[in-house]
Structure 1
Amino acid sequence: MSLSGAASPDLTAAGTPLPHLWLLRHGETEWSRDGNYTGLTDLPLTQNGEQQAVAAARHLEGVTFDTVLSSPLQRAVRTAQLAGFPEPHILPYAHEWDYGDNEGRSSALVRAENPGYLIWNDGVPNGETLAQVAGRADRVVSLVQAGCGTPADQDPASAPARNVLLVAHGHFLRVVAARWLELDPAQGRRFVLGTAAVCTLGWDKRTPAIVQWNL
């Protein structure tokens, strides 16, 4: 979904442009292809995943990014590189949900064992809580909405950001989107996100909004 034809950029009360957060999910891995929970396991992209990452670049053409951020996991870093950003800034807390005992297991198998299971409601055994994932997501949102786009130990006034790109992971980016929109993190369940998909979080005037999703 995308929108076009906006009359003018969304502005702060001071008349400066509000920052936009672009999201890029990493390309396919063997586990994402097979429907396995992939949290902190550091898998590479498949050949198809690399092709997806290259293709994602077309959705980013013409955009000047003040900062490109990436999860520390190789599937995200490699996606950033193949999409045209060879040296993304590594954001240590932008990794995927730690799935605990479900790591590497098929989501279909987990649901077969517990037909009512839904990660957004039930969480994961011996892994991160949704609140912990949301806490990390909130750090990203605060960083970008402050107009900074660089780590918080730098002076935001020295690093204003109009467009920030974050390359990360499916569940984590869905929680980021929910928190950008000021929703409960469990509402991330409503934002389907494919591998190597591009999204833009921005504003409707001064209200946080989705500009485009799952391109």
Structure 2
Amino acid sequence: MTLAFVRHGQTDWNREGRLQGSSDIPLNDTGREQALAAERMLAEWTWDAVVSSPLARARETARIVADGLGLPLGPAYPELVERDYGPLEGLPDTEVIARWPDRRYPGAEPLDAVVDRCLRGLDRIDADYPGRNVVVVCHGTIMKYTLIRLTGYPVDVVLNGTVSAIERDAEGWRVLTINGEPV
């Protein structure tokens, strides 16, 4: 089984450097172009399904990718929603990170809970598409920390509109690409 995690394309809040989290902010035109670029990266492989987070920015990215790959758009999984940053959503991310460099933000969903939730979503995807190759469109924080937990690979950042692919074999998960670059 191969999973290709695609971070949704850019939104205005991404462009402005605002902490987005579970706020449902739509793609901007740059984000739509990034979704098309991600689809071109994915065209090198064979995919069976495209699924996503239910947030509008992920869903639109997934629709663009699925259309480009000639696949129907699969379901949205609520477990793939981005980390809930609570009262910090909408604030400048540099300010928030400077104030809480350990990422233990007051009122935010704990990182371990975010990853556990994503893993439950991946279990559902595996049950829905057993042994299949699936494109999973979601969000930066949930992708980064889930990739680290699954593979142990030290992911620094996940860029908008890029593909980070992993493959599962008898020994577990291994990284194929991060941000569209082979590892």
TM-score for both structures, normalised by structure 1: 0.74
Q: CA deviation at 1:35?
A: 1.3
Mapped to 1, the partners of 2:30 and 2:44 lie a distance apart of 25
Matched, 1:74 2:56: yes
Mapped to 2, the partners of 1:149 and 1:26 lie a distance apart of 24
Looking at CA atoms only, which structure, 1 or 2, has the larger radius of gyration? 1
Query: What residue in structure 2 maps to residue 130 of structure 1?
Result: 111
Matched, 1:91 2:64: no
When the two chains are superposed, the root-mean-square deviation of aligned CA atoms in Å is 2.1
Q: Is the 8 A contact 1:26 1:76 kept in 2?
A: yes
Mapped to 1, the partners of 2:175 and 2:65 lie a distance apart of 22
Query: What residue in structure 2 maps to residue 61 of structure 1?
Result: 43
Identify the structure with the greater helix proportion. 2
2:34 alignment partner, one of 52, 58, 63: 52
Structure 2 stretches of 5 or more lacking a match?
A: none
Query: What residue in structure 2 maps to residue 20 of structure 1?
Result: 2
Paired residue total: 176
Query: What residue in structure 2 maps to residue 108 of structure 1?
Result: 94
Residue identity over aligned pairs, in percent, reads 33
Mapped to 2, the partners of 1:122 and 1:56 lie a distance apart of 28
Mapped to 2, the partners of 1:62 and 1:110 lie a distance apart of 38
TM-score for both structures, normalised by structure 2: 0.86
Q: CA deviation at 1:62?
A: 4.4
| Distance verdict in 2 for CA 1:164–1:36, change over 3 Å | same
Query: What residue in structure 1 maps to residue 130 of structure 2?
Result: 160
Mapped to 2, the partners of 1:162 and 1:206 lie a distance apart of 17
Query: What residue in structure 1 maps to residue 147 of structure 2?
Result: 177
Runs of 4+ in structure 1 deviating by more than 4 angstroms, as ranges, are: none
Q: CA deviation at 1:63?
A: 2.9
Deviations for 1:136-192, whole angstroms, at most 9, x for unmatched residues?
A: 122134345xxx352xxxxxxxx53331110000001112212221x4xxx87x332
Identify the structure with the greater strand proportion. 2
1:34 alignment partner, one of 8, 13, 16: 16
